[in-house]
Amino acid sequence: MWAIVVMLIGALIAAEELPDLIRGKRRGDIWLFAALLLAGTGLGVAQSLRVEIPNPLDAISFVFAPVGKFLEALFM
Amino acid sequence: MGGLFQTFRKIVAGGASPKTPPPAKPERQELQARLSDSLPVIRSRIGNSPDVIVREIMIHQGPVPLGAALIYTDGLANITDMLESLLASGREAEASPSPDEPVMQRLKQTILTVGDIKDVSDYETLIHAVLSGDSVLLVDGCAEGVIASTRNWEDRGVNEPSSQQLIRGPRDGFSETLRTNTVLLRRKIKDPNLWMEMKQIGRVTKTDVAMVYIKGIANEKVVGEVRSRLDRIDIDAILESGYIEELIQDETYTPFPTIYNSERPDAVAAGLLEGRVAIVVDGTPFVLLVPALFTHFLQTSEDYYQRADIGTLIRMLRYLALFISLLAPAAYIAVTTFHQEMIPTPLLISVVAQREGIPFPALVEALLMEGTFEILREAGIRMPRAIGQAVSIVGALVIGQAAVEAGLVGPAMVIIVSITAISNFVIPSFNMGITIRMIRFLLMVLAATFGLFGIMVGLIAMVLHLCSLRSFGVPYMAPFAPFILEDQKDNIFRLPHWMLVTRPRLISQTNTTRQRSTKENNPNT
Amino acid sequence: MIEKGKISLVQLNILVMLFSLGSAILIVPSALSSVARQDGWISAVIGVALGAGIVQMLVILDRQHPGQSLVESCETILGSFAGKLVGMLYFMFFFLLASLVLRNIGDFITTIVMPETPIQAIHVLFLVIIVMGVRLGLEVIGRASEIFLPWIVVLILVLVFFIIPQIDIDRVQPVFEMGMNKIMYGSLSILGIPYFELVVFLMILPYVNKRQKAGKAFLAGSLLGGFVLILITCLSITVLGWDFTARHAFPSYTLAKKIRIGEFLQRIEVMMAVIWFLTIFFKLTLCFYASALAIAQVFKLSSYRPLVLPLGMIMLVMSLVVYPNIVYFREFSSHTWTPFAFVFGFAFPFMLLLLSKAKKAVGK
């Protein structure tokens, strides 16, 4: 159910923004908008279908957690 | 505005925008010289309406009496003076035979003793003049007529305004006649810089609209903007200043009024002196004032007539009332539904005990009572005065007491609704009051779904919207945001008059000083 | 220029202050006292002083390329490709920060204020006003901050005033028990939140009136925010005690719960919640605004506004998946966030500053 709602919202956003964008005739703008909207809708649908979405903090932690631990060891 | 919204608007408006071009103006038709030619044309143009009177008379200028016609609208024009002067001229003419100068010239220069006189040479102008209450004198053999200002019709007179009453202050109010209204303004401001620009708006109604401002104080940009927005209007009828308001406001899709209206000449004069522009519309006592900021809707002219400390406290009271009428029911719903722990225990017990047998959730209870009250209020405005009392009894007893006794609503809810309603009446301007009433319902729904968090979100959204508004280019929330320190003297506070040295900064930008400096003015030194 | 509005110095000052209070006002006391215990307030003071230094460095960087935002000056300094790359990294940083902050408020409400409400609903509702604010533009955000500042100040004053009777000064003793090392380490957490995050304002500084004085307003705002943070930390430690402060996720909220004047005036912690909603609204809006502006500038768009709604959708999902539970987040914020934010809030800007100076020196 929620997946449909998400797609509907995506369509609404497109209907809201696209006419102005197309009138602006700037291809870059339209492409970036479309890419972001697709990403947003895709993620939204995935989330509502309870698909595991990789956690960005894990990647950051992988790099920076050792630094943090090192700092802690340094000061404590 | 985005595409979706525009599409929606197009659908609603039926896409009817200018497909049909405005009807071409009828061609200018010159007056004919002979009365026997021109009078039938005039009669047929107005469809022989009996209220327009074409009276043929003879005037004695020189040896041969001349045929003439006096045309006026019965009830709109007072032609006693005209007739008198014409008759007198006849007697004189018999005594001294005339020189050779043209009849028209003499009529205008020496005979007609009426104030304002204009020439007319085409039917359009003539008929418009007659229908506006002027009378037209045509002379046989002349392809030109004279318009004499004879406007004089039944008027309500200068009465006390009923929409904005006050204890101390002038009792005169605008009426339905444009001229009376401009007179009231002139009487308050006797300065040659009080300028008026007349316009006729409305294809059919041809309503007179006057744009009034004080040259040198009003911001030229705003004046130009008002002028161009008025000129842009193309509509068949202007029956009230509300039409103009909707046609010239900055932002249509907002619940907040961005144009101030007043029935009070003193309020409008004060606005003019601050550098604002007034728009007086014939046929209504409500004069528009722009730019109008949020804070103007919470001020009254009485703030300036009472002592400064009283004015300040009353203004603070109004802001308090604004918050109460905006938030009280929503806060009650949020607290009773989600945050019972916030209420001190004894109070909680009594509130809960009251709500014991009530079958509805707090939101329904509140909507029920608020809805009832709005209906009662609307009924009270529209119905004949004699029945008003009956409604208030029904309202107070039946709805209030009976609903509580029947266990439909709790007594606390009745108190909340009453305090909300009374607070709403404190807001001096009716249209701002309505806005707050509408937003209140929105906040109630948010409170019922998200508690205090919902209320906060609603408030933040409201403030964001308010901050994005402008009235004729001036930020709506000024002088709160952008914060202007020197304008705080006359915002929530109303400092003594000798401290109000400058005009509001964003409104008047040319001549901002009202008086000597505070130091010189201080009566205590 | 993508953004046409301008904000005044006062508005910048207020925005910086609200931004620094943002999520920090609830989180920082706990982070500080979990490391430095009763000396947490000293850590706070040191952290604010160091933070002022960081802000000063950001101001100097901003002066190198007046009128250019961080992303634009990246391209000027690093060239097109590397500049765009760093610009995109900053976009991600701002966006991640915004998502984290959104999740913070979701956590706060679902754990403390309204446990029955689904977190998605709260995120959606809050996003609605964020998106609204960002689409209306910087000018409107600035003006709204002026409207809300008095509320926040009054609420903080009331809070402080009423909590004074509960202060027990013995709770800060013994002073310096933990030694300088731990105190310094504690101060890192206040650097991570909010001082490294203040780099967001490099996206906003170009749109300030009277640019020459913008640096001063920036610094003053961050110091004011820092002062309030120190104050709240001191109060948390002296009223609640360091152990309670450290154990609790939102100690300043608990602090407000302690207020009890007579029988009637109690349980007014909702004031604290209001302060938090307001400050976090501005923090989140500015982060989101900066991220939308950053990506629009990297791709040289004519306006950032069309991107706001799609970005909002992404942020909604992002904020829900960004961390699985609050324990994970506490671990993350105490160990990982500070070095991560250090890269974006200090290392990159400092490098850019050096490069820019070097370039100018070579150019001469």
Residue of C39, C70, C14, C47 lying closest to C290 (CA atoms): C70
In this structure, how many other beta carbons lie within 10 angstroms of the beta carbon of residue B189?
Answer: 16
Q: Which pLDDT score, from 0 to 100, does residue C314 have?
A: 94
Domain extent, residue C233, equals 9-322
CA distances from B169 to B145, B165, B166 (A): 47, 9, 7
Rounded to two decimals, the ipTM of the complex is: 0.94
Q: Which two tokens stand for residue C257?
A: 């719960």
pLDDT band at B125 (very low <50, low <70, confident <90, very high): confident
The pLDDT of residue C132 is above 90: yes
Q: Looking at the complex, does the CB of residue B468 fall below 8 Å from at least one CB of chain A?
A: no
Largest CA distance in chain C: 73
Task: Provide the sign of the torsion angle of the four alpha carbons B17, B18, B20, B24, taken in this order.
Answer: positive
Judge contact between B514 and B500, C-beta under 8 A.
yes
Residue C100, classified by CB atoms within 10 Å of its CB into exposed (0-12), middle (13-18) or buried (19+), is buried
Residues of A in contact with C338 (CB under 8 A): 68, 71
Residue of C15, C22, C49, C67 lying closest to C207 (CA atoms): C67
Judge contact between B31 and B138, C-beta under 8 A.
yes
DSSP category for residue C170: G
What are the tens digits of pLDDT across the range A21-73? 888 878 888 999 999 999 999 999 998 888 888 888 888 888 888 888 888 88
Taking one residue from A and the other from C, the number of pairs with CB-CB distance under 8 angstroms is 100
Asked whether residue C152 is domain-assigned, the answer is yes
Provide the shortest C-alpha distance from residue A43 to chain B (in Å).
23
Region C331-357 average pLDDT: 90
pLDDT band at B116 (very low <50, low <70, confident <90, very high): confident
Judge contact between C258 and C244, C-beta under 8 A.
no
Give the chains touching A; criterion: ≥3 Cβ pairs < 8 Å: B, C
Residue of C43, C38, C105, C104 lying closest to C244 (CA atoms): C38
Question: Looking at the partner chain, which of A9, A29, A41 has a beta carbon nearest the beta carbon of C306?
Answer: A29
Which residue of chain B comes nearest to C106, CA vs CA? B453
The ranges assigned to domains in chain A are 2-75
* DSSP β-ladder status, C260-261 and B474-475: unpaired
Residue of B211, B64, B198 lying closest to B141 (CA atoms): B64
The pLDDT of residue B100 is above 60: no
> Taking the mean position of all CA atoms in its chain, how far away is CA A21?
21
In 3-state terms, what secondary structure has residue C118?
Answer: coil
Minimum mean pLDDT among B15-19, B224-228, B401-405, C353-357: which range? B15-19
d(Cα B251, Cα B367) in Å, to the nearest integer? Answer: 29
Give the residue carrying structure tokens 């402080």: C160
Read off φ and ψ for residue B250, nearest 5 degrees.
Answer: -65, -45
Question: Looking at the partner chain, which of C309, C321, C323 has a beta carbon nearest the beta carbon of A53?
Answer: C321
Domain count, chain C: 1
Judge contact between C159 and C30, C-beta under 8 A.
no
Largest CA distance in chain A: 61
Give the chains touching C; criterion: ≥3 Cβ pairs < 8 Å: A, B
C118-121 long-range contacts, CB within 8 A, separation 24+: C119/C320, C120/C316, C120/C320, C121/B450
Greater confidence (B365 vs B33) lies with B365
Q: Which residues of B494-522 are buried (b: 16+ CB within 10 A; e: fewer)?
A: bbbebbbbbbbbbbbbeeeeeeeeeeebe
d(Cα B135, Cα B140) in Å, to the nearest integer? Answer: 16
Tell if the CB–CB gap between C302 and A29 is shorter than 8 Å.
Answer: yes
User: Which of C313, C315, C343 is the best substitution to test chain A (most A C-beta atoms within 10 A)?
Assistant: C313
Question: Looking at the partner chain, which of A6, A37, A69 has a beta carbon nearest the beta carbon of C335?
Answer: A69
Q: Which pLDDT score, from 0 to 100, does residue B122 have?
A: 87
Asked whether residue C253 is domain-assigned, the answer is yes
Read off φ and ψ for residue B273, nearest 5 degrees.
Answer: -70, -20
> Taking the mean position of all CA atoms in its chain, how far away is CA C336?
17
Q: Which pLDDT score, from 0 to 100, does residue C61 have?
A: 92
Give the residue carrying structure tokens 């170009």: C206
Read off φ and ψ for residue B139, nearest 5 degrees.
Answer: -120, 135
d(Cα B90, Cα C8) in Å, to the nearest integer? Answer: 75
3-state secondary structure string across B292-339: CCHHHHHCCCHHHHCCHHHHHHHHHHHHHHHHHHHHHHHHHHHHHHCC
> Taking the mean position of all CA atoms in its chain, how far away is CA B180?
15
Give the residue carrying structure tokens 């009894």: B393
Residues of B in contact with C148 (CB under 8 A): 460, 463
Q: Which pLDDT score, from 0 to 100, does residue B1 have?
A: 44
Q: What is the dihedral of CA C57, C233, C144, C295, to 10 degrees?
A: 50
Residue of B81, B178, B73 lying closest to B132 (CA atoms): B73
In this structure, how many other beta carbons lie within 10 angstroms of the beta carbon of residue B11?
Answer: 9
Question: Looking at the partner chain, which of B456, B457, B467 has a beta carbon nearest the beta carbon of C147?
Answer: B467
Which residues of chain C approach chain A closer than 8 Å at the C-beta?
96, 181-182, 184-185, 188, 295, 299-303, 306-307, 309-314, 316-318, 320-324, 328, 332, 334-336, 338-340
Region B168-183 average pLDDT: 91
Minimum mean pLDDT among B494-503, C8-17, C326-335: which range? C326-335
What are the tens digits of pLDDT across the range B248-289? 999 889 999 999 999 999 999 999 999 999 999 999 999 999
Read off φ and ψ for residue B516, nearest 5 degrees.
Answer: -60, 170
Tell if the CB–CB gap between C185 and A75 is shorter than 8 Å.
Answer: yes
Judge contact between B80 and B72, C-beta under 8 A.
no
In 3-state terms, what secondary structure has residue B214?
Answer: strand
Q: Looking at the complex, does the CB of residue B4 fall below 8 Å from at least one CB of chain A?
A: yes
d(Cα C289, Cα B74) in Å, to the nearest integer? Answer: 67
d(Cα C247, Cα C242) in Å, to the nearest integer? Answer: 9
Tell if the CB–CB gap between C264 and B344 is shorter than 8 Å.
Answer: yes
Question: Looking at the partner chain, which of B342, B343, B483 has a beta carbon nearest the beta carbon of C10?
Answer: B483
Minimum mean pLDDT among A69-73, B90-94, B520-524: which range? B90-94
Residues of C in contact with A6 (CB under 8 A): 313
Provide the shortest C-alpha distance from residue B8 to chain A (in Å).
10
Question: Looking at the partner chain, which of B338, B339, B467 has a beta carbon nearest the beta carbon of C143?
Answer: B467
Residues of C in contact with B457 (CB under 8 A): 125-126, 128-129, 277
Contacts of residue C273, defined as CB under 8 A and 6 or more positions apart, other chains included, come to: B452, B453, C108, C113, C253
Tell if the CB–CB gap between A19 and B2 is shorter than 8 Å.
Answer: yes
Classify C241 in phi/psi space as left (phi over 0), alpha (psi -120 to 50) or beta. Answer: left
Residues of C in contact with A68 (CB under 8 A): 334-336, 338-339
Q: Which pLDDT score, from 0 to 100, does residue C38 have?
A: 86
- Percent of chain B clearing pLDDT 90 (strictly above): 43
Give the residue carrying structure tokens 């009271």: B317
Which residue of chain C comes nearest to B347, CA vs CA? C264
Q: What angle do CA C53, C58, C62 make, to 5 degrees?
A: 145
Please tell me chain C's helix, strand, coil percentages from 3-state DSSP, rounded to the nearest 5.
85, 0, 15
Tell if the CB–CB gap between B2 and A20 is shorter than 8 Å.
Answer: yes
Task: Provide the sign of the torsion angle of the four alpha carbons C252, C254, C260, C263, taken in this order.
Answer: positive
d(Cα B21, Cα B203) in Å, to the nearest integer? Answer: 13
Q: Which pLDDT score, from 0 to 100, does residue B470 have?
A: 93
Tell if the CB–CB gap between C318 and A37 is shorter than 8 Å.
Answer: no
Q: Which pLDDT score, from 0 to 100, does residue B92 have?
A: 64
Provide the shortest C-alpha distance from residue A29 to chain C (in Å).
6
Give the residue carrying structure tokens 């005169």: B172
In 3-state terms, what secondary structure has residue B72?
Answer: strand
Residues of B in contact with C145 (CB under 8 A): 481
Q: Which pLDDT score, from 0 to 100, does residue B377 have?
A: 85
Greater confidence (B522 vs B471) lies with B471
Region B127-148 average pLDDT: 86
**CATH code of C273's domain:** 1.20.1740.10
The pLDDT of residue C334 is above 90: no
What are the tens digits of pLDDT across the range C285-317? 999 999 999 999 999 998 899 999 999 999 999
The pLDDT of residue B312 is above 50: yes
Q: Which helix (H) or strand (E) holds B59?
A: strand B52-60
In 3-state terms, what secondary structure has residue B90?
Answer: helix
- Percent of chain C clearing pLDDT 90 (strictly above): 55
Read off φ and ψ for residue C205, nearest 5 degrees.
Answer: -50, -35
Judge contact between C97 and C19, C-beta under 8 A.
no
Q: Which two tokens stand for residue B244?
A: 């103009």
Tell if the CB–CB gap between B450 and C125 is shorter than 8 Å.
Answer: yes
Number of alpha helices (DSSP H) and beta strands (DSSP E) in chain A: 3, 0
Q: Which pLDDT score, from 0 to 100, does residue B96 have?
A: 55
Asked whether residue C193 is domain-assigned, the answer is yes
Q: What angle do CA C60, C65, C66 make, to 5 degrees?
A: 90
Task: Provide the sign of the torsion angle of the four alpha carbons B391, B393, B397, B398, taken in this order.
Answer: negative
Q: What is the mean pLDDT of chain B?
A: 86
Q: Looking at the complex, does the CB of residue B341 fall below 8 Å from at least one CB of chain C?
A: yes
Read off φ and ψ for residue C168, nearest 5 degrees.
Answer: -125, 105
Region B395-417 average pLDDT: 83
Q: What is the mean pLDDT of chain C?
A: 90
Q: Which two tokens stand for residue C116?
A: 């029955």
d(Cα B434, Cα B417) in Å, to the nearest integer? Answer: 15
Region C108-131 average pLDDT: 91
Region B347-357 average pLDDT: 82
Tell if the CB–CB gap between B5 and A16 is shorter than 8 Å.
Answer: yes
Minimum mean pLDDT among B17-31, C134-148, C247-261: which range? B17-31
pLDDT band at B213 (very low <50, low <70, confident <90, very high): very high
Number of alpha helices (DSSP H) and beta strands (DSSP E) in chain B: 18, 12
Residue A15, classified by CB atoms within 10 Å of its CB into exposed (0-12), middle (13-18) or buried (19+), is middle
Tell if the CB–CB gap between A15 and B5 is shorter than 8 Å.
Answer: no
Q: What is the dihedral of CA C343, C345, C348, C349, to 10 degrees?
A: -160
Q: Looking at the complex, does the CB of residue B482 fall below 8 Å from at least one CB of chain C?
A: yes
d(Cα A40, Cα A37) in Å, to the nearest integer? Answer: 5
